[in-house]
Amino acid sequence: MYKRLVFIAVIVLTGQVVSNPYDLQLLTFIGINTLLALGLNMVMGYAGQISLGHAAFFGLGAYTSSLLTIHLDWSPWLALPFTLVFVGIVAFLVALPMLRLSGYYLGMGTLAFGMIVFFIFLQWRSLTGGDSGLIGIPPLTLGPISFEFGAAPFYLVWGIVFLSFIVCERLIDSRIGRALRSLHDSERASAAVGINTSRLKVQVFVFGGVLAALAGFLYAHMVTFISPQTFDFLMSVKIVTMVVIGGMASVWGSLFGAALLTLLPEWLHVFAEYEMIIYGLILVVIMIFLPQGLTRGLLDIYEHFKSRRKTLPKSHEG
């Protein structure tokens, strides 16, 4: 409980202290990336099902809501539930055949799905504007407040991140969360204790997809301009890297991974050209040396040293 209060306090304080619009936007993007990582963490970190096409759901959320608001003049608030349900259905239809696969094949399948969606954004010009994307997406408003610039979008996004944390934590700490983790450990044994494993996999995939769609919705109406590149394969790899960095430590790992991967390119400008290579390297290094993720790995190392210091005098006696 006190963790949550601290979290709220940090959000409010940050919103008060940071006034530079550029920094605020960066922080807001961290929030959006956290939503993406949180969803994929449930699929990959907890249920152990790899997905290399998570950016597709991010993009579908952004494009669906943008198209509804631009072409049909819907209010974003009306477009929101429609968008979430639509992307949820897409995720369901994709998951049904896809999650029969496992390991590399699941990786390939989800990768192909991400590619297909990306090419639809790129090629269906009459609808999506092709390469140049969609402009003039209406910002979110609530009475006199516009969630386009400044602290308002920051608070909105982080408010939603906060709620998503609670949702994920409650899921993890429940019958469903245990079933997801058991699936990760042994699918055969999960089935043997009576878990409908295919249904559970589909459900968690849809959950992750809908959370990504929510992130896409927020992103589109905040930036008011979208183009396919934001939702390409590199983005999917980036989300995977966030989850791997965060590890299965907790939902906090997702936040840490998202923050690191949002800030790194800002700090290191050379990054841009080698982005893909660097993510690849990070992934390989973490998988080899800290298979539990960076967060868990660092905690383990810390605990290892702590316990060694405790046992050291004993071993001298012996």
Query: Which residues would be at the binding site for another protein (CB under 8 A)?
Result: 167, 170-171, 174-179, 181-182, 184-186, 188-197, 203, 207
Q: Which is nearer to another protein, 17 or 192 (CB)?
A: 192
Q: Please state the closest distance from residue 186 (CB atom) to another protein, in A.
A: 5
Q: How far is the CB of 210 from another protein (least distance, A)?
A: 11
Instruction: Report the residue number, 182 or 250, with the smaller CB distance to another protein.
Output: 182
CA–CA separation, 65 and 75 (whole Å): 9
Residue type, 78: L
Which of 50/68 has CB closer to another protein? 50
Nearer to another protein, 84 or 122 (CB): 84
- CB 208, CB 39: distance < 8 Å: yes
Beta carbon nearer to another protein, 68 or 202: 202
For the CB of residue 193, give the shortest distance to another protein in the complex, in Å.
5
Smaller CB separation from another protein, 106 or 183: 183
Q: Could you give the CA distance from residue 216 to residue 214 in angstroms, rounded to a whole number? A: 5
Q: Which residues contact 243 (CB under 8 A, 6 or more apart)?
A: 37, 40, 41, 44, 45, 253, 254, 257, 293
Q: DSSP assignment of 178-206, as one string? A: HHHHHHHH-HHHHHHTT--HHHHHHHHHH
The least CB distance from residue 173 to another protein, in Å, is 8
- Residues 121 and 231: beta-carbon distance below 8 Å: yes
Task: Tell me whether residue 141 or residue 198 sits nearer to another protein (CB atom).
Answer: 198
Task: Name the minimum Å distance from CB 190 to another protein.
Answer: 7
Dig out the tokens for 261 from the structure: 């991967």
Round to whole Å and give the CA distance between 199 and 205. 10
CA nearest to 299, candidates 251, 256, 249, 264? 249
Distance in Å, CB of 11 to another protein, minimum: 21
Q: How far is the CB of 101 from another protein (least distance, A)?
A: 19
Give a three-class secondary structure readout of 8-27: HHHHHHHHHHCCCHHHHHHH
> Beta-strand (E) ranges in the chain?
134-135, 141-142, 145-146, 225-226
